[in-house]
Copies of this chain bind each other. A is one copy, B any other.
Amino acid sequence: MKFSNRVEGMASSPIRRLSGYAQTARDKGLKVIPLNIGQPDIETPQVFYDAISHFEVSVLEYTNSRGMKKTLETMQLYLRNYGLDFAIEELVITAGASEGLVFTMMTLLDEGDEVLTIEPFYPNYDTFAKMAGGRLVGVHSSIDNGFAMPSIADFEDKITDKTKAILLSSPGNPTGRVYTQAEIEQVIAIAIKHDLFIVADEVYREFNYTDRPFVSFGDYPEIAERVVLVDSISKKYSACGARIGSLASKNKEFMAHIMKLCQSRLSVSTLDQVGAGAMDLVDDQYVYDNRKIYKNRREVLNQALQKIKGVKVTEPEGAFYNIIQLPVDDAEKFIIWMLDQVEIDGYTVLATPAQAFYTDPRYGKNEIRLSYCVSEEMIERAMAILALALDRYPNRQEI
Give A residues with C-beta under 8 Å from B.
Answer: 1, 3-8, 10-13, 16-17, 37, 39-44, 48, 52-53, 57-63, 65, 95-96, 98-99, 102, 106-111, 113, 124, 127-128, 131-133, 195, 197, 225-226, 238-243, 251, 253-254, 257, 259-261, 263-272, 275
Contacts and interface: CB of A to CB of B under 8 A. Distances in A.
Residue among A42, A57, A197, A271 with the highest chain B CB neighbour number at 10 A = A271
Nearest 3 CB-CB pairings of A with B: A241-B270, A13-B263, A7-B257
Given A3-B108, A3-B254, A4-B108, A241 B263 contact: no
A60 B235 CA distance: 11
A57 B46 CA distance: 10
A265 B265 CA distance: 14
A78 to B, nearest CB: 18
Contacts of A261: 7, 10, 127, 131
A241 B271 contact: yes
A95 B265 contact: yes
A340 to B, nearest CB: 22
A113 B133 CA distance: 13
Contacts of A98: 264-266
Nearest to A237: B60
A63 B241 contact: yes
B106 A6 contact: yes
Contacts of A99: 265
Residue among A48, A65, A242 with the highest chain B CB neighbour number at 10 A = A242
A271 B239 CA distance: 11
A1 B195 contact: yes
Contacts of A95: 95, 243, 265, 269
Contact of A106 (B4, B63, B225, B243): B4
Contact of A52 (B17, B42, B52): B52
A60 B127 contact: no
A60 B239 contact: yes
Residue among A16, A102, A267 with the highest chain B CB neighbour number at 10 A = A16
6 contacts: A3-B108, A4-B109, A4-B257, A11-B260, A242-B269, A271-B271
Given A59-B44, A95-B243, A110-B4, A52 B271 contact: yes
Contacts of A39: 61-62
A267 B38 CA distance: 13
A339 B2 CA distance: 48
Contacts of A8: 257
Given A1-B197, A106-B7, A242 B264 contact: no
A59 B132 CA distance: 33
Given A62-B240, A241-B63, A10 B260 contact: yes
A124 B48 CA distance: 32
Contacts of A238: 59-60
Given A4-B110, A44-B57, A272-B272, 12 more contacts: A1-B251, A3-B257, A4-B107, A6-B106, A39-B61, A61-B240, A62-B240, A63-B241, A106-B131, A111-B133, A131-B264, A269-B272
Given A1-B195, A107-B7, A271-B242, A263 B12 contact: yes
A241 to B, nearest CB: 3
Contacts of A40: 59
A330 to B, nearest CB: 22
Contact of A265 (B4, B102, B111): B102
Contacts of A254: 3
A124 B3 contact: no
Contacts of A41: 59
Nearest to A15: B263
B60 A264 contact: no
A65 to B, nearest CB: 6
